[in-house]
């Protein structure tokens, strides 16, 4: 796993000014989301929805974030993609957060309890191949503890990773994913990890997370 050289927004500007952005810490996350966390439980919406968990673990300024690579499945528009653990809601779920916790335990074996919960992120629409699916995604933040626990992927998950948050915020790990669809070439911003692109809705969730803290994901480095 690769660790960060610069974390947070304005990495280039910080370098020009001779300043290095401080690592994104657990204390900063707790403080940044304290107000929204105090609003209480997120209510279930009408219609179909999905939920994902941004599960952090590790030291105060050495946080890691749980990601999965989805199994290859015919007909699945997100087949083989990097993602956060999560999925579609079940009628038995008490709400979106419960759905995120259930899916996380099923997919990677992490048990998320109330004491691990930090805050929600704003819900967002989910699209597939550029078209709105009608599904709304509810992301939630959790902190598991100082030691990242072993991940036990189920049959829906090809691989599971603890990725240092510093890696996500390092501009040297940013790229553009090139895809050809219907005869047209599209380029999507992404984060590279072990040859895999973190892009699409997962990338947009990361954008929401960093923006809420007054930070931003750096631009891809020159030549990417």
Mean local confidence (pLDDT), 182-190: 87
Instruction: Report the chain's mean pLDDT, rounded to a whole number.
Output: 86
Would you say 151 and 161 are in contact if contact means Cβ atoms under 8 Å apart? yes
Q: pLDDT tens across 188-218, in order? A: 999 999 999 999 999 999 999 999 999 888 7
State the Cα–Cα distance between residues 46 and 55, nearest whole angstrom: 26
CATH 3.90.79.10 fits 11-212, yes or no: yes
Q: If 0-12 CB within 10 Å is exposed, 13-18 middle and 19+ buried, where does residue 201 land? A: buried
Looking up tokens 């105090």, which residue turns up? 38
Domain boundaries, the chain: 11-212
State the Cα–Cα distance between residues 100 and 178, nearest whole angstrom: 30
Would you say 110 and 149 are in contact if contact means Cβ atoms under 8 Å apart? yes
User: Which of left, alpha, beta for 45 (phi over 0: left; psi -120 to 50: alpha)?
Assistant: beta
Taking the model in full, what pTM does it have? 0.86
Q: pLDDT tens across 87-100, in order? A: 999 999 999 999 99
Q: pLDDT tens across 115-151, in order? A: 999 999 999 988 776 677 788 999 999 999 999 999 9
């Amino acid at each position: 796993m690769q660790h960060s050289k610069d974390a947070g927004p304005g990495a280039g500007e910080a370098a020009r000014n001779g300043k290095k952005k401080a690592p994104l810490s657990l204390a900063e996350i707790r403080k940044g989301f304290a107000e929204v966390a105090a609003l209480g439980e997120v209510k279930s919406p009408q219609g179909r929805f999905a939920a994902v968990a941004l599960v952090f673990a590790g030291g105060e300024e050495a946080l890691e974030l749980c990601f999965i690579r989805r199994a290859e499945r015919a007909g699945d528009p997100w087949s083989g993609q990097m993602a956060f653990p999560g999925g579609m809601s079940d009628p038995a779920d008490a709400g979106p957060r419960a759905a995120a916790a259930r899916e996380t335990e099923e997919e990677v074996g992490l048990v998320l309890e109330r004491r691990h919960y930090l805050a929600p992120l704003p819900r967002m629409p989910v699209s597939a191949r550029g078209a709105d699916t009608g599904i709304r995604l509810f992301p939630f933040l959790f902190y598991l503890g100082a030691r990242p626990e072993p991940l036990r992927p189920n049959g829906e998950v090809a691989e599971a990773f603890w990725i240092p948050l510093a890696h996500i915020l390092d501009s040297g790990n940013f790229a553009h994913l090139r895809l050809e669809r219907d005869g047209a070439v599209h380029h999507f911003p992404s984060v590279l990890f072990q040859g895999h692109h973190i892009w699409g809705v997962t990338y947009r969730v990361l954008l929401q997370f960093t923006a809420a803290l007054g930070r931003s994901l750096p631009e891809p480095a020159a030549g990417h």
